[in-house]
Amino acid sequence: MPSETREFAKKRLMVMLLGALAGVVAAIAGIYGIGAVMRNAGIPEACRPAAQLADKLKPLARGEVAALAPARSPIPLGDLAFRDADGKERTLADWKGRTVLLNLWATWCVPCKKEMPALDELQKALGGQDFEVVAVNIDTRNPEKAKTWLTDTGIASLAHYTDNSAKIFQVLKEKGRAFGMPTTILVDRNGCEVATLAGPAEWASSDAMTFIKTALGR
């Protein structure tokens, strides 16, 4: 067989193989959606359910919680550390099996204080064995100031959590999940990010309640 003919045959075979491969990719994309296939490839196994939940919640990020951004590639957050009211060190891993709305706030942050009563209402309405609003104060001076402010404001349903080093904010900032105050992240039962919000929201609104209830499967 002349060399030109052999070269033509090789090229034709290559074209056929590439065509077959494209057909396989198209079939996968048609069944699962190529975006989901590519995205899930980089998500830790434990956070796959969080990715599915984030997709389910997308249509509910509206109205008073329209700024909530469902996670495209959820990351594990179980190692985030802070202290409880007794000074005991805690991590989000302690809440494994429960859904958490993690909120970072400070007494010097006006929007943070403005949304705190609504977070208190959300905890009062939906808090329990499967859900908790975990509001972590990151004041770096006068640790008692936040506790006093909560008491004086009548915040009674939220437990008191603190990180006087503000390291939790820096860790989230390094992960690309904190851009300002307040920062709020919905975390699933496996300790994985589901949705993130930069800035305040009306957490006692029907939009927020529907969003959280759906996340809880209620």
Give residue-wise pLDDT tens across range 137-159.
999 998 789 999 999 999 999 99
Separation of alpha carbons 122 and 126, rounded Å = 6
Mean pLDDT, rounded, for 190-216:
98
What are the sequence ranges of the domains in the chain? 3-34, 45-216
Correct CATH for 45-216 of 3.10.20.740, 3.20.20.70, 3.40.50.300, 3.40.30.10: 3.40.30.10
C-alpha–C-alpha distance, residues 62 and 44, integer Å = 28
- The residues, any chain, with a CB within 8 Å of residue 88's CB and separated by 6 or more, are none
CA distances from 100 to 46, 80, 96, 137 (A): 16, 12, 9, 16
Q: What is the pLDDT of residue 46?
A: 94
- In this prediction, residue 96 carries a pLDDT of 97
Q: What percent of the chain has pLDDT over 70?
A: 81
List, for residues 58-96, the tens digit of each pLDDT value: 999 999 999 999 999 999 999 999 999 999 999 999 999
Question: Does residue 28 register a pLDDT over 80?
Answer: no
pTM beyond 0.75, yes or no: yes
